[in-house]
Amino acid sequence: MNALSLRNLKKTYNNGFEALKGIDLDVEAGDFFALLGPNGAGKSTAIGIISSLVNASSGSVSIFGHDLKRDQAKAKSCLGLVPQEVNFNQFDTVKNILLNQAGYYGTPRKLALQRTEYCLKQMNLWDRRDTVSRRLSGGMKRRVMIARALVHAPKLLILDEPTAGVDIEIRRSMWNMMQQVNQQGTTIILTTHYLEEAESLCRNIAIINHGRIVENSDMASLLTRLHVQHFVLDLAQPIAAAPVIEGCQIELITHKTLAVAVPKEHSLNKLFSQLNAQNIDITSLKNKTNRLEQLFMDLIDSNPTGVKR
């Protein structure tokens, strides 16, 4: 069963701009799915169409097998949305925002009160329940939107950059929360510009650029495609020039740090013994960039104009 299926989805805005040029996408039920792409790629446009906020120019959307046009009420009740921009009534209290939302989905009052308490506690907002939402910090507003999206217990949760502008502690707790929600059976689609977030949370991934899907596969096989890994090595003693090692590219960043590009077939053990042989002591090692980030840049760079490959 697919939680979401998009078929040949196109969108041309009124000003003539073609934001989506025909998107096909399937997300399986239970998946934790990353929808990535640079600014302006069309992620929010696609999410807008899925959540009935944007009219598609053509194509179809189906949520858990319910066509969004023909079977609208059923399709919509499966979906919970955390939009990119704050969109609740800023004059309402946190609790009322959730209670109203539950009401819109037809939740009886008693259950709505229980769900509201549960979701606000899950998002660490219960002690803020009577605060007028305008007075919340930016990170709290994001959490209100997540709590609001969960109040009707949706089967598919779409989050459009939920962790943007959120401090690291809260981001961590959001990750935990998203994983928890996913483990309880909710399918999650996440967009983010923090690629390490996508790498650690998501099982499958699509990358969208200039209104087209340029990559769609599972995270593991995507990462194995990475041929070269980049590391930064800290050295015990300063050296004057970068050592030369067959097959690897080595750059001297400072006298005590090296940037190394290692092909996959070159083992790290071998690299270390080669460096050892040249009397270079390594005190620590880290990834230069996140692995997914390298792939992402490769995919985006190789297709800068959006011309179909």
Partner 1 sequence: MNYCIAFRTIVTKEIFRFIRIWPQTLLPPAITTALYFLIFGKLIGDRIGTISGTSYMDYIVPGIILMSVISHSYANVVSSFYSSKFQHNIEELLVAPIPNWIILSGYISGGIVRGLLVGVVVALISLLFTDIKVNNIPITLAIAVLTATVFALAGFINAILAESFDDISIIPNFVLTPLSYLGGVFYSVDMLPGVWQTVSMGNPILYMVNAFRYGLLGVTDIDIQLSFIITGGFIITLTSFSLYLLYKGIGIKN
**Minimal CB distance residue for Mg ion:** 44
C-alpha–C-alpha distance, residues 209 and 263, integer Å: 27
Is residue 34 within 8 A of residue 6, CB to CB? The reply is no
- Closest separation in Å from C-beta 4 to ligand ATP: 17
For Mg ion, which residue of 11, 27, 36, 44 counts as binding (CB under 5 A)? 44
The span from the CA of 309 to the CA of 294, in Å, is 20
* 84 is a contact residue toward Mg ion (CB under 5 A): yes
Encoded tokens for 27: 């997300």
Contact between 80 and ligand ATP per CB under 6 A: no
Place of tokens 């009219």: 55
From the list Mg ion, ligand ATP, partner 1, none, pick the one residue 101 interacts with, judged by a Cβ distance below 5 to 8 Å according to partner type: partner 1
Q: Angle, to 10 degrees, between the axis of helix 138-150 and the axis of helix 109-122?
A: 140
Q: To the nearest 10°, the Cα dihedral for 177, 180, 186, 189?
A: 50
CA distance 101 to 128: 17
Residues 13-52 touching ligand ATP, rule: CB under 6 A, are 13, 15, 17, 19, 37, 39-45
45 binds Mg ion (CB under 5 A): no
Quick one: what does residue 39 bind among ligand ATP, partner 1, Mg ion, none, with the CB cut-off 5 to 8 Å set by partner type? ligand ATP
Is 25:4 a contact under the CB 8 Å cutoff?
A: yes
Asked if 93 touches ligand ATP (CB under 6 A), the answer is no
Task: Please report, as residue ranges, which positions from 141 to 200 form the binding site for Mg ion (by CB under 5 A).
Answer: none
Residues that bind Mg ion in the complex, under the rule CB under 5 A: 43-44, 84
Residues that bind ligand ATP in the complex, under the rule CB under 6 A: 13, 15, 17, 19, 37, 39-45, 84
